Amino acid sequence: MTATPTTTATPTETVPARFSINQATVKQLGLPELATACTDLGVRRVGLWREPVHAYGLAETARLMRDAGLTVTTLCRGGFLTDIEARARGWAIDDNKAAIDEAATLGTDTLVLVSGGLPKGSRDLHGARERIAEALTELAPYAADRSVRLAIEPLHPMFASDRCVVSTLSQALDLAERFPADQVGVCVDTYHVWWDDTAPAHIARAGATGRLHAFQLADWITPLPQGVLNGRGQLGEGAIDMREWHAYMEAAGYAGPIEVELFNEELWAGDGRELLAETAKRFRISLSGGDL
């Protein structure tokens, strides 16, 4: 680990209060290391993923976060609700209920949903989206009873077949609006919506009905890697004007945490603490002028 100027700035100067580090961004750090790094750098908020939480233990993670004074901004992720076959659908519902319970235990009010792709052999996007709605009729009240909101995250259209048939904010809101706003809303991630000139209008639509439940940042860089999953850019490295999207969210009344969620093999190969410090610094610079 080399101590570069970018990683030795005084924490209080570099970490805005609304900054949240999504655990996936620094997945080279185990949960205790993450908690320590956040404390050392002055980061107060984290987004967690179920798999590392399971590995460390749910109650143990909740205690670790509490003891470190960290707020869990979201849990990633529920979803994958597009199966056709009854038994698979039952499993998915049960797994999502477990995710909701975990979110409640971790003290976060938001479970992010990645809806799921086309079932094998199916070409019916519309049908898949309807099955998501059907599953939400069971999951939304279950979540509400535990003070957890579901945040449907539209994923970039390049994931439409294999990961998420909900490709736009418009589609996500069409689903969410069938349910009460405090039960189902959306997660806006710049990486997934930046290309869409209708997205700003749908951010406003979501804000007007109280459905902006999460906001995540990642930059768009090319060339995309094989499989396109782990090619997200560090803030400032790519094509997305972060300040512009933050302004849309602010104008729509969003005042919650702002997570940075990067999946990037190259960043994961480096030092996790340095990456956290660098990400917080870039967050501050990329969004300078906004309410942070």
- Of 49 and 220, which CB lies nearer to its own copies in the complex structure? 220
Is 72 a binding residue for its own copies by CB under 8 A? The answer is no
Residue 222 CB contacts under 8 Å (≥ 6 apart), including other chains: 231
Is 241 a binding residue for its own copies by CB under 8 A? The answer is yes
Size of the chain in residues: 292
Q: Which two tokens stand for residue 69?
A: 């004074």
Is 289 a binding residue for its own copies by CB under 8 A? The answer is no
Is 158 a binding residue for its own copies by CB under 8 A? The answer is yes
- Of 219 and 278, which CB lies nearer to its own copies in the complex structure? 219
Rule CB under 8 A: choose which of 157, 210, 253, 255 binds its own copies.
Answer: 157
Is 80 a binding residue for its own copies by CB under 8 A? The answer is no
Restricted to residues 220-239, the positions that interact with its own copies (CB under 8 A) are 220, 222-228, 238-239
Number of residues that bind its own copies (CB under 8 A): 33
Is 4 a binding residue for its own copies by CB under 8 A? The answer is no
| 3-class SS string, the chain | CCCCHHHCCCHHHHCCCCEEEEHHHHCCCCHHHHHHHHHHHCCCEEEEEHHHHHHHCHHHHHHHHHHCCCEEEEEEEEECCCCCCHHHHHHHHHHHHHHHHHHHHHCCCEEEEECECCCCCCCCHHHHHHHHHHHHHHHHHHHHHCCCEEEECCCCHHHCCCCECCCCHHHHHHHHCCCCCCCEEEEEEHHHHCCCCCHHHHHHHHHHCCCEEEEEECEECCCCCCCCCCEEECCCCCCCCHHHHHHHHHHCCCCCCEEECCCEHHHHCCCHHHHHHHHHHHHHHHCCCCCC
Is 162 a binding residue for its own copies by CB under 8 A? The answer is yes
Rule CB under 8 A: choose which of 36, 39, 71, 170 binds its own copies.
Answer: 170
- Of 28 and 161, which CB lies nearer to its own copies in the complex structure? 161
Is 71 a binding residue for its own copies by CB under 8 A? The answer is no
Is 181 a binding residue for its own copies by CB under 8 A? The answer is no
Asked if 175 and 152 count as a contact pair (C-beta separation under 8 A), the reply is: yes
Region from 57-65, 77-85, 131-139, 157-165 binding its own copies, contact rule CB under 8 A:
157-165
Is 13 a binding residue for its own copies by CB under 8 A? The answer is no
Is 197 a binding residue for its own copies by CB under 8 A? The answer is yes
- Of 140 and 166, which CB lies nearer to its own copies in the complex structure? 166
Residue 44 CB contacts under 8 Å (≥ 6 apart), including other chains: 15, 17, 38, 69, 70, 71
Region from 1-9, 48-56, 161-169, 179-187 binding its own copies, contact rule CB under 8 A:
161-169
Is 82 a binding residue for its own copies by CB under 8 A? The answer is no
Rule CB under 8 A: choose which of 1, 10, 12, 123 binds its own copies.
Answer: 123
The residues of the shown chain that bind its own copies, judged by CB under 8 A, are 118, 123-126, 156-158, 160-162, 167-168, 170-171, 194-198, 220, 222-228, 238-241, 244
